[in-house]
Amino acid sequence: MTTQKNIAFIGLGNMGLPMAINLANAGESVRGFDPQVTDSNSKLPEALTLCSSLDDALLNSDLVITMLPNGHIVLDVLNAIIQGGATPAVVLDCSTIDINHAREAHKVASDAGIDYMDAPVSGGISGAAAGTLTTMIGGDENVLSTLKPRIEPMFKTFIHCGDGGSGQAAKICNNMLLATTMIGTGETFNLGKKLGLDQNTLFSVLSTSTGSCWSVNSYCPVPEVGPNSPADNDYKPGFSVAMMLKDLHLTQAAADSADQATPLGAHALELYEEYANSGATEEDFSGIIRYLADLDRQ
Ligand code: NAD
């Protein structure tokens, strides 16, 4: 008789907790650890156990999933797993971190005989809750194939991007483009308004013409225009300005080390920094439309 191994889920924040819940609801035995989460207000599935330490979460776990704030913490947790003597077969890191830390984590894990995948996600808190995240993955494709049936409850789309670190590279490329399209969408609606266009009429044009993009069609930053979005909820995140700034900083650091010019990406970072400094750190990133509306034309 084979006994079911556990999944250790490390980092039960806004993203990690709903992802862990989806795994537990799909029949996995999940042992979660997060020093900030000792008791959850939401009712947890029976198959999700909140643990009081990393070691406790690792008990009888062959797969470790991490969903953590940054690369330093991801590497610290990985080192603690190895130094504690646990031997999971696979560590899947779903956090968004810098490419250098991701590559280092691949090496550290490989030296310890652990398969490691960098697997950052897109889709935000709503995608985490619905189990419809997209994940972009760097690491061994064969390991991914074996792992897929088990981690499917968290994801709708899997894209294997290449070797270690390539998932993180794809993630920051995507978010640089997202920042630039959101700024472009905001300034376009602001100009249309000043030119006397009805915002709904402009949405109809943009969403069906060559200006269409996710920022217009799925996440329109104008209240009561297009599908429901944070603009309809006073720009509560969603995806916060702080999160977008983190990704834009990672993008510019990567562009520096790759010696690649990204003029719009660099300017997007400047604009999001100015917007954040206006007190908007915890607003949704689409709220930049309001900041852009008040800028002086130079
Ligand atoms: P969060 O701050 O809500 O959660 C992170 C959690 O990690 C916290 O609860 C914290 O207590 C925990 N943590 C920190 N150090 C730990 C440790 N040593 N051991 C165990 N737990 C530890 O952040 P989030 O929104 O859940 O984001 C997590 C990651 O996902 C980040 O890398 C973020 O960039 C990325 N991401 C977030 C979103 C989003 O919309 N929120 C979307 C895509 C990707």
Per-residue pLDDT for the chain (298 aa), expressed as one digit of tens each?
456 799 999 999 999 999 999 999 999 999 999 999 987 656 899 999 999 999 999 999 999 999 999 999 999 999 999 999 998 999 999 999 999 999 999 999 999 999 999 999 999 888 999 999 999 999 999 999 999 999 999 999 999 999 999 999 999 999 999 999 999 999 999 999 999 999 999 999 999 999 999 999 999 999 999 999 999 999 998 899 999 999 999 999 999 999 999 999 999 999 999 999 999 999 999 999 999 999 998 7
- C-beta 230 within 6 A of ligand 1: no
Rounded to 5°, angle at Cα 26 from 22 and 30: 70
Model confidence, pTM: 0.94
Cβ-based neighbour number of residue 27 at 10 Å: 11
Give strand pairing partners of 136.
Answer: 159
18 and 150 fall within a common domain: yes
CATH number at residue 255: 1.10.1040.10
Distance of alpha carbon 193 from alpha carbon 9, whole angstroms: 47
Distance of alpha carbon 200 from alpha carbon 223, whole angstroms: 10
Rounded to 5°, angle at Cα 259 from 110 and 139: 20
Torsion of CA 207, 129, 173, 178, to 10 degrees: 30
Cβ-based neighbour number of residue 10 at 10 Å: 28
The residue among 163, 184, 209 that closes a domain is: 163
Q: How many domains does the chain have?
A: 2
- C-beta 89 within 6 A of ligand 1: no
Is residue 107 part of the annotated active site? The answer reads no
CA of 180 to the centre of ligand 1 (A): 24
The residue among 143, 163, 183 that closes a domain is: 163
Cβ-based neighbour number of residue 280 at 10 Å: 20
Peptide bond into 164 cis (omega under 30): no
| Residue tagged 């490989």 (tokens) | 110
Distance of alpha carbon 25 from alpha carbon 10, whole angstroms: 17
The residue among 163, 192, 209 that closes a domain is: 163
- C-beta 13 within 6 A of ligand 1: yes
Q: Which of 43, 107, 171, 246 is catalytic?
A: 171
Give strand pairing partners of 160.
Answer: 137
Return the ligand 1 atom nearest residue 120 CA: 44
- C-beta 137 within 6 A of ligand 1: no
Lookup: tokens for 266: 């660099």
